Amino acid sequence: MTDTQYLLQTIESLLNVPKQGEHDPYRPVWHFAPRVGLLNDPNGLSFYNGEYHLFYQWNPLECEHGAKAWGLATSTDMIHWQHKPLALAPTEEYEVSGCYSGSAIEVDGKLELFYTGNVKYPQGGRTAYQCRAQLSESGEVNKLGPVMDLPAGYSGHVRDPKVWRHGDDYYMVLGAEDLQKRGVVILYRSRDLTTWQKCGDIYGTDINGKQDNNFMLECPDLFPLDGKDVLITCPKTWIDIDGKATETFDVEVTIGALDYQQADYQVESTCLLDYGFDFYAPQTFEDADGRRLLFGWMGKPDEYEPYQPTKAFGWIHQMTCPRRLTISNNEVLQQPAEELATMRRNHLSGHCLSTSLAGLSAELLLQDINGATSTITIADDLVLEVTPSGVTTKRKNLKTGLWQQKTWPGKATSLQLLRDSSCVEVFINRGRAVMTSRMFGKASGVKHDCGFRFESDKPMSYQHWTLEG
């Protein structure tokens, strides 16, 4: 298939969005979502040519996983997004099974794009190429082709290049599965972005004493932050749930120190980056103000994905809000980017045991929790429970209708909740932990006046705003 043929199919898909999409109760007010098709990983995040650039994994032809393209949207405030022409389409032999995830770096006035060209063989098996493209100031994308074949010693699962500059050299980390089926992160170095030299495996199973059952580390992101080096990965392993082998979709963040000369990454601390139901494949970038910002995919490719009701409206999945990362007390904190406060309207505040607050796009700040036991109802299928020992998100399973739960084990002193039509992001203790989840119950599907309802055994101070995107 040529680029032109793929583009024509994309246009046809956009022109045939289901008519009920005009009355879609699940479409977000201000979170980024595709107009049509399936969205997953954020890619190529950058501030370039005076605008924020959000590339993303996209199947514009259907609400299913398949040979992914790269979509693109730009913004001046990370709230209002302008859809741009298709950035990358899987039309070359080295990417025929998909333009998989990657990153971007500005060099000499052009935005250099690096991504994985995925190739699956008809007889089984696969290979991967690390590819390069360029986005010009005029918005044209030029593919330069592969810069790296599949390296020796690894399976066909080598992907998701994250590229940055350090000193006079460029560096790249790749997520990989080695031939012993162990998940590792590989570090590479280059002077010209074309010829890459392997430095070594810097993180993963059996490296620096790390012991686990991970068979793959996806979407690695390594970056400096507040005098430390931070590594984000998506470890893949199998766990038993009710007698069934189930693939994990967690996101892990470590704080440590990278020795560039020795290709050695020493870990100081490790924890989950999100404790909710729907968060995967995040990526960070540095903007013009030096902030380290993160977007994540608000979704997971699990067995419940086919049951999401947005598919009836021609689309599936969305991005998280932009989050600013900092380090405090050797912990990575995530907080909503400052720009989001400009959406606040209709401020209310109080101090009480219980109340209901309107707004299907809204923000709720709860303070003075300090040991209170409380329940926050956000939708008919999603409830937040707070106790002195933890915060639990309870949600009805889309497939079975049974309640499931995810828990952050700690003492909450404050909660900041950002909700949109069919999602909520919960920032605990000023971003010490986050819980991200989608919900599709009546509170998100029927336009009534309840956005949050909380009940507590001790009075709590609250502030509430509706949010206008």
In order of their start, the domains of the chain are: 3-13+27-335 (2.115.10.20), 339-467 (2.60.120.560)
The pLDDT of residue 63 is 96
The pLDDT of residue 447 is 45
Phi and psi, residue 95, nearest 5°: -140, 20
The first and second tokens of residue 213, run together, are 């059952």
Q: Alpha-carbon distance 463 to 358, whole Å?
A: 12
The pLDDT of residue 243 is 82
**For a pLDDT cut of 90, what percent of the chain falls above it?**
88
**For a pLDDT cut of 70, what percent of the chain falls above it?**
97
359 has pLDDT over 80: yes
459 has pLDDT over 90: yes
**Alpha carbon of 247 to those of 39, 54, 213, 240, 344: distances in Å?**
20, 28, 12, 9, 39
Q: Alpha-carbon distance 423 to 279, whole Å?
A: 11
Amino acid at 255: I
- CB–CB of 196/188 below 8 Å? yes
Q: In the beta sheet, which residues pair with residue 162?
A: 173
The pLDDT of residue 38 is 97
The pLDDT of residue 13 is 82
466 has pLDDT over 70: yes
442 has pLDDT over 70: no
pLDDT in tens, 114-166: 999 999 999 999 999 999 999 988 888 999 999 999 999 999 999 999 999 99
Calculate the average pLDDT of the chain: 94
Kindly state the average pLDDT of the residues 178-195: 98
- CB–CB of 340/323 below 8 Å? no
pLDDT in tens, 370-383: 899 999 999 999 99
The pLDDT of residue 21 is 60
Kindly state the average pLDDT of the residues 360-368: 95
Residues forming the active site: 41
The pLDDT of residue 25 is 92
- Strand order of the β-sheet with 315-316 is 82-83, 69-75, 51-59, 37-48, 315-316
Categorize the per-residue pLDDT at 448 as very low, low, confident or very high, splitting at 50, 70 and 90: very low
Of 11-20, 47-56, 177-186, 258-267, minimum mean pLDDT range: 11-20
Kindly state the average pLDDT of the residues 78-97: 96
Contacts of 64 (CB under 8 A, 6+ apart): 38
- CB–CB of 2/295 below 8 Å? no
The pLDDT of residue 449 is 45
428 has pLDDT over 60: yes
- CB–CB of 311/63 below 8 Å? yes
Of 174-178, 180-184, 240-244, 288-292, minimum mean pLDDT range: 240-244
pLDDT in tens, 11-28: 888 888 776 666 899 999
The pLDDT of residue 445 is 42
Kindly state the average pLDDT of the residues 196-223: 97
The first and second tokens of residue 221, run together, are 């992101």
- CB–CB of 406/278 below 8 Å? no
Chain-centre distance for alpha carbon 284? 9
